[in-house]
Structure formats: C-alpha cells, structure tokens
Chain A
Amino acid sequence: MSPSTGKIVGISGNMVTVEFDGNIMQNEVAYILKGEERLKSEIVRIGDSVAFMQVFESTKGLKIGDKVEFSGELLSVQLGPGLLGQVYDGLQNPLPDLAEEYGFFLPRGVELKALDDERKWKFTPVANKGDTVIQGMLLGHVPEGIFEHAIMVPFHLPGEYTVEDIAAEGEYAIKETIAKIKDEKGNTHEISMTFNWPVKIPIEAYRDKIVPEEPLVTQARIIDTFFPVAKGGTFCIPGPFGAGKTVLQHILSRHAQVDVVIVAACGERAGEVVELLREFPELEDPRTGKTLMERTIIICNTSSMPVAAREASVYTAVTLGEYYKQMGLDVLLLADSTSRWAQAMRELSGRLEEIPGEEAFPAYLESRIAEFYERSGLMELNSGEYGSLTIGGTVSPAGGNFEEPVTQATLKVVGAFLGLSRDRANARRFPSIHPLESWSKYESFIDQKNIDEATDKLRRGNDVNQMMMVVGEEGTSIEDFQLYLKSEFLDSVYLQQNAFDEVDAATNKERQTHVFQRVQQVLDTDFHLESKDQARDLFNRLRQLFIDWNYAKMDSPDFKQIEESIEKLIKEHSENEENLQ
C-alpha cells in the first residue's frame, strides 16, 4: 500500500488543513514537502475529506497547494541501547548532532537518527533455542553505561513465540538481527536490538501492576520524611514563578536514588537545561562512581521551540521511561512543566475551534493528564522481575493560584502534592515546599506517629506566630513562645536544606532517621526557661549547632562531637531528667 498524499488547503498558526486521497488514520505522522525541507506533522482531527494537522515546526512560508505525504505510522520513538546520556528534542532528534551539522540555530524540516546505527554493542544471549517467550521477555543483553541493557522481545508482538535462532555472543550493531522467533502460526520474525513504539500508547508488556509502597529516597528531608514518594508513584510540584520548582527538580534529578532519570524540559527556559547539559557530564553519581549523565536522558523542548513538539516531548519522555522500566530498573521521570504541555494542548484546541472548557483549556485536559500520570507504576514484569516508573511533574499555575484547571486536574491523580509557597521562597526558606499544605498518600520510612506529632508542633507554633503578630511578644505566654520557637527550629534545621552545600544537599535514609530522632528529642523536651530572651538564646544556639551538624559528614569526628554538644545543651536546660532517653 503506497502512503496517501494530499495538499494544503488552509493555514492558521501551526495548524494546517489538508485535502487528501486514500486512507489516513488519527494521529498519523505526515510530512509537508517544501523544497528540501520535510516538515513533520501529526493528524489531530479528520473531517469531511480534510485532515487537520498540527505541524511540529514553523509554518512560515508554506503555501496553499503545498504537497503532503502521509507516513502510515503513528508518532513513534526509537528504542534500543544508546539512549542513556542523550539530549533529544521533543521528537527524539539528538540536539548535539543537530548543532554539529547545522550550527547555532535549529534547522527546520530535518530529522536525524535517534540512535547510532553503526556503533557495535557487545551482545550476550540469555534465551536459548527452543525457549518460549512473550513480549517484553529477555533475549539477551548489552552493557550500556552502568547497566546491562536488556534486549527484549518487542512489545508490539502479541502471543507466544518460540526462539528459533539466537545470535552468539559478539559485537553487533542495533539493526542487525540477533534472534529469530516463530509465532504460533509458524511465521518467523527477525528481531534486532531496536524497534519503534508509538509514544501516545502505553507499553503494557508486563504481568501485573502493583501498589507502590517502597519509598523512593530523594535525599530531600522534607520530602522523604514528611511527604514521601513511592517507587512507581506520582507526585506534583505546583508553585508560582520564583518559588524554586526547577531548582527542586534539578536537586531531585541529581540526588534521587534511582537507576535512570529522565528529565523532560517542556516549554521552560533554555538556560536551565543548559545547566544540566553542561554540569551533568562533570558531576559524579555517588552510587556508581560514573557521571550523572550516564544515568540521565534529557528531553528538551524549551519555550521558544515549536509548540506542537512541546506536546509530543512529554510523551516521548514517558515512553523512554517505560522502556527502561521494562528492564527491571527504577526510573524517575521529571516533567518540567506540565502546565506548558497543557498550554500546548490549549493552543491546539483553540486552532481546532473546539468548544473551550475552563480558562479555555480543552474539555479533555483532565483525562489527558490522568492518562499521563497513570503510565507510572510498579510492575511485575513478564520475566518475574520488578520495574518501576515514578512520575513527578511541576505545575506552573497562572498567578500562583492552585485553583486553576491544570493544578486541580493533576491533584486528582497524583499520590503526593508538594506545593511550593511564594512566602517561603521570599523568606529564602528552601526547598519552599509548604509543610502545612502539602500531602502524600505514601508511607515514609519514619514512623507516621512521630511525623504527625512533629507536624502538630509545626501547626501550633504557626498559630502562635499568627497570634503574636496581633498581640506582640509581650502578650504571649512563655509556653506558647517555646512552642513557636520549636516550630521555627524544626523548620530551619530539618525542613530547610542548603542545596549548595556538598553535605547538606543530600541526606540519605540512615542520616535522616538519625537526625530526626534528635530533632524530635528537642521538640519533646520541656525546657526550663525563665524569660523569652533566654528561650530565644537557647534555641538560637540549638539551631546553630544543628545547622553545623547538617554540614558535617556523617562519618567525620565533627559529626560525633557536635552531637555531643547538642546532647549536653539539651540536658542543661531540660526541666527534669526523665524526658531524656
């Protein structure tokens, strides 16, 4: 069947209408031919003998009557070894390769190979001749950076297969055949190390989806202790501009204890991506000793790049995440920002002249957001192993108001809400996650009872603070004042974390458990205090000690020594000895 063709009959922004002959399908990829350029586009609606297509590039200079070639395929990404460490645009074009070939500016109508066809990979077979396999099962593996990259039965092959032939250990390029498998009808399929998968369709080549329980350690204290995220779970980070969303995402992408991190920079500032691009190849991943870049894939469609490709970039990222999850790895996908993705949908919807929903977002906004987050999960794979994909998205609500459609639609489907507050950011309290408004449905590695008690102190201390603004310090009792100082203490030594300090930037599980106990001890101790000045002085000293403690390496003599000073100080001021352990 030769692909269908058509011609342009209308243009408005990045939306073109095309008259076509032959068969076309929804979400099929088509190319607009303009001289040497081939402008990639996607069918988004089919009407009476016309197709509406969103163009992934600038439509400048297109004419009525320009030729269109349909591809017969859905928008897809290429999967296979060599994805890690790459920097792609929203359509999986490698940006460094584009720069090498075309210089400073992004060319229009160019597609480059996502993976290197020529590079040889050392293949080790795992499956044997005669084995029965199904989609997603392991045929062999190749080393990719720090992992064994699994070569699996492609996910688009349904049913059972018998392995007829498998390549011997050796060096192969990704397109060479490494196995032949026979289906139930006796047809033989040749398998290489790479295949394509349509981005908007979830990969479902696993046995079962399981409730996520094991905490994903992000090494950010306020998250791990108070608002934890589970491996295979979902979370969102809404916040107004300047509250530190992107900085928080960068911290997570650096310190989260997972195997693979996928960063989707979707419609945000190019400068921020540049920091990742330039710094990750230099930074060491303490878990593996290799650079952070070797566990990272960056999908980068910044705000000035074409808006339709921005919409695609989120799907590209989640598909790559699903692929690595299928290998039994823990994957973290960070999407910054989902609001820009939603805005891309809104622009498209407007050009399609659809009836608008709230704030002109399309009516299907909620279901699209839900579909996206539902692609996360902890899965029991066909091989019997487990893999997880955790999805965290930032949300940029208009005017910083969480009562807007994107935030609300997201809150319905995520397991943890890390709401950033402008007040906390202005007061330079970072990470600026609001400790009283955020929530998580997952379980922390610290006992829930202890967390509830700490949160309670925080809330009551905050109430005292509100009251003091009216009645002044003079009108506050010493007990209430102590409560207020305790809540401030918890905030400044535990909830806040200095991302620029080498030690304080990342607190692992062991250390969090240890430090939290001490913090709790301070919170639980009824200090013997006579005046407010004395109280303030004591807590200033406690705070200073704890902050120094946070900056000390855990195995250092300083760490021990500061802890002793802390103990001593608490002892000196506590009313009776029974409160001490």
Chain B
Amino acid sequence: MRKIYNKIQNISGNVISVKASDVSYEELAEITTQRGKSLAQVIKMDDENVSLQVFTGSRGVSINDEVRFLGRPMEVTFSDNMLGRIFDGAGSPRDKGPLLTENLIPVAGPSVNPSKRIIPRRMIRTNIPMIDVFNSLVVSQKLPIFSVSGEPYNELLARIALQAEVDMIILGGIGLKYDEYMKFKNTLESGGALSRSIFFMNTASDPIVESLMVPDLSLAVAEKFALKGKDVLVLLTDMTNFADAMKEIAITMEQVPSNRGYPGDLYTQLAARYEKAVDFDDAGSITILAVTTMPGDDVTHPVPDNTGYITEGQFYLHNGYIDPFGSLSRLKQQVNSADQSRKDHRAIMDGMIQLYAQFMETEEKRAMGFRMSGWDQKLLKYGGMFRSQMMDLSVNIPLEEALDRGWEIMAKCFTPEETRMRTELIKEFWPKNTDQ
C-alpha cells in the first residue's frame, strides 16, 4: 500500500505541493477532494517538497485533502477495444462505454532512433485537390494547419479524417468547444468512420491540465498501433491551446518566460510531440495533422513560429481556402515524381500555381485601376475558375480527376503555348474539344 499524505503545504494556480518521500519524478498521485477524485502529476521535487499539477485544477482543494501516490507514471490503456471509443484527457472514458484497464502503456516514451527511420515515399490521398495535387500529404509527415479563429479548420480536419487513406484515425481535442466536438463526432459517425477512430477529447469546459495530456495519450496509442503495422493519422486541434496550457503551468511554477510569456522550452515540448511522426522500417506509420490557430493572424507569434521550425511544411487556411502560396508540403517531392504519380502531376502543380500568381498580380493591378489587356482578361477568367473548381474546400475529387480538371480549366482560358507547359505533355493531356 502506498503512503497517503493529507497535509497540502501550498496551493498556487493548478499546482499543489506536499511533503512526501520516496516519490518518483513524473509519478502520478490521486487527490480526493470534496468534489471527487483527481489525478495529479509530480512536476518538481525539492528535497521533501513535491509539487504536483492537479489535472482537474486546484479549485476546491483543501489543505487537508488526501494525496495518494500511485507509484507509476502516466499510462494509457491500449487495445483494439479502443476503436470507436471516446476518452478524456486523463484517459478515462467519456462515452458511456466500459472502463478499459487492460494492457497499460506508458505515455511520452523515448524518441525513435533516427537510423531506424526510412525516407517516406507514400502519398496519403485525401481527395482534396489543394492537398493531393499541390501539397501532397505524405505518410509520416507532420503538418500544422495554420489559420485564424473562425476559419473552417475543424471541418477540414473532419473531412480529411473521413477521406484519408489510412488504417485508423486518432483525434486529440485540446480545449475544443463542446459543439465542435459534437460536430466531429457526428460527422465521423454519419460517414461511418467512427469505428476506425479513437477520440481523446478535452473540451474547453474540461480541466486545462488534462489538455496537456491529450497529445501524449494520442501519440502513445498511435505509436503502439503503428508498431503493429497500422498507418495511423493523428489529428490534433488546437495546438495553440496546448501551448497556452503549458504557459499557464510554467508561469505558476515561476519559470522565467522567454517570448510573450511562453516557457523557454516551448520548441522542445512541441518537437517532442511532433517528432513522434514516423514511418517505421517494417511496420506502420504515424502522420500528424495539427491545427494551430494564429492569434491575430500573426505567423511570427511564438506558437506558429516554433511549430513551423518543427513541422514539414504547413497548410495555411485563409479566407476559407487552403492558400496555395503560404502552404507548403516539404515532402511532396518524395511522392509526386513521374514514376510515383501521373507524369503531368508536377507540371500541373507548378504551372497552375504560376498562372495563379500572375492572376493575383493582375487582380492587384485591376484594383489599382490599371487598364486590363487581353492577357489580363484571360488571367481573370482563369483565376475565377481556379478558385471555384479547385480551391473551394467543397471540391471532392480524386487526384487523377483533379489533374484532368486542371487541363480543362487551362484549355478554357488559354492557348497551349500560353501555359508554358512542356510540348509532350500538351500533346498527351490537352483536351481535344474546348469551347474557347
């Protein structure tokens, strides 16, 4: 039987401290208060003084409440029974299903040996042209979705969850609004994807400390499934809430803040999570898509800034579109060459974006009142079609169809030479009957 302590020395923010001995670093404890039981985790030890962060928060904790150390670090259950289930940030069920206690695994395990990684070469199709054609998602990639509040990032995430070609989905919700959570659940349910999904859900009304655990729980489970050969897609929303929760704890612990109040180890902490993305030699993989809202649409804010340095590109969701200029998939070169994808893939990708860039310039000129030449008119027509038939988030077509559509749009707006496409591709792909 573990020792029980019932004299809490200090309560500050969500951190309490007790005098205790024989405690391990990062060990869990259970606190019984008049509000019920809560888990807590050791975050600092100074001789006998042990500081713990309380998962459900310190509100209502009295100094005589009982603290019982559990003698184990944070763990989570792992089994196929988890599929279709919904858990909270402490790893307990939040649906009405049974408690799962078998096969506990530790969270936040060691990192993968770089020499056991392989260069990823498999595309994950999503049927969203702005992703598949222009910034392909690759197995083992870690990509944030940068956007501002109010953009349909959760809808995008839900659609990717429904359509992505993966074995299973793990959704980690961090400070998610309750109705967003319900929308996710309903979308996946009606799309029939719930049975291959696991949710770790911390809503905005749930304790903030628990939100800190969500990425670790999601990724620990994902890692086990990946080792069993599954291709797992982990969706996290919203990592800015995660960083803010970290900031709150760091400031409570009187750590010296580095940039806008965020702790100095923000980069390390984010990297520890994102770097779990991996393609295992001879086993499965983990791919991470994480929403990162940018306060004030400012990409230099510490959270998106540090994230950008860690991740392999970003999707930039802007005015309801995946912005073709701000977005980048660093790994797309690994999957879109002529022998891996259709041979016009790269040409369409580069060519259409260059034309779209010219359209943007023309539109600027038009806004400034410059005269529109014939070429400008063509570009304006092209830009409109590109937006409505490619960029619009409701467009839902496979990669090949999207490439065909690209040729059609160009054929409706330009002569073949004007597109600067290579002649051999034009011969093969240029639509025969066009109404230009």
Contact = CB atoms under 8 A, between A and B. Distances in A.
B98 interface: no
Given A95-B113, A356-B256, A59 B47 contact: no
B115 A277 contact: yes
Contacts of B310: 269, 303
A105 B26 CA distance: 20
Tell me the interface secondary structure of chain A in the complex.
Answer: mixed
Contact of B23 (A13, A58, A64): A64
A501 B277 CA distance: 30
A304 B256 contact: no
Contacts of A275: 119
B155 interface: no
- Which of B46, B48, B227, B365 gathers the greatest number of chain A CB atoms within 10 Å? B46
A398 B312 CA distance: 17
Contacts of A12: 44-46
B302 A398 contact: yes
B280 interface: yes
A307 interface: yes
Nearest to B350: A428
Contacts of A398: 259, 300, 302, 305-306
Contacts of A13: 265
B114 A277 contact: yes
Contacts of A361: 258
B229 interface: no
Given A303-B310, A401-B300, A95 B115 contact: yes
Contacts of B300: 398-401
Interface residues of B, number: 63
Contacts of A304: 111, 271-272, 274-276
Contacts of B274: 304
Contact of B47 (A9, A240, A346): A9
B345 to A, nearest CB: 15
A58 B110 contact: yes
Interface in B211-268: 227, 255-259, 263-265, 267-268
B275 A278 contact: no
Given A61-B73, A62-B25, A274-B114, A303 B119 contact: no
Contacts of B115: 87, 95-96, 98-99, 277
A108 interface: yes
Interface string B94-123: 000000000000001111111111111000
- Which of B23, B112, B308, B312 gathers the greatest number of chain A CB atoms within 10 Å? B112
A11 interface: yes
B267 A343 contact: yes
B114 A343 contact: no
Interface in A349-408: 350, 353, 356, 359-361, 396, 398-401
Nearest to A500: B333
B227 A104 contact: yes
Given A61-B24, A275-B119, A359-B258, A340 B113 contact: no
A347 interface: yes
Interface string A279-307: 10000000000000000000010111101
A96 B108 CA distance: 23
A202 B222 CA distance: 45
B24 A99 contact: no
B119 A347 contact: no
Nearest to A276: B114
Interface string A92-131: 0001101100111111100000000000000000000000
A172 interface: no
Interface string A434-478: 000000000000000000000000000000000000001000000
- Which of B27, B258, B314, B328 gathers the greatest number of chain A CB atoms within 10 Å? B258
Given A242-B313, A304-B275, A274 B118 contact: yes
B140 interface: yes
A273 interface: yes
A396 B309 contact: yes
A399 B305 contact: yes
A271 B259 contact: no
A507 B351 CA distance: 27
Contacts of A517: none
Contacts of B109: 105
Given A59-B25, A270-B112, A271-B117, A343 B275 contact: no
A359 B23 contact: no
A60 B25 contact: yes
A304 B215 CA distance: 14
Contacts of A346: 258, 264
The 10 closest A-B pairs by CB, nearest first: A399-B300, A303-B271, A304-B275, A241-B308, A360-B258, A304-B111, A95-B115, A10-B46, A105-B110, A11-B45
Given A61-B24, A87-B115, A104-B283, 6 more contacts: A11-B25, A103-B113, A103-B116, A269-B310, A271-B119, A304-B111
27 contacts: A9-B46, A60-B108, A96-B115, A102-B113, A104-B112, A104-B280, A108-B110, A242-B328, A267-B267, A271-B117, A271-B331, A273-B114, A274-B119, A275-B119, A277-B115, A303-B268, A303-B271, A304-B274, A307-B268, A346-B264, A347-B268, A350-B263, A350-B265, A359-B258, A360-B256, A398-B259, A398-B300
Interface of B: 21-27, 44-48, 73, 108-120, 140, 227, 255-259, 263-265, 267-268, 271-272, 274-276, 278, 280, 283, 299-302, 305-306, 308-310, 312-314, 325, 328, 331, 365, 370
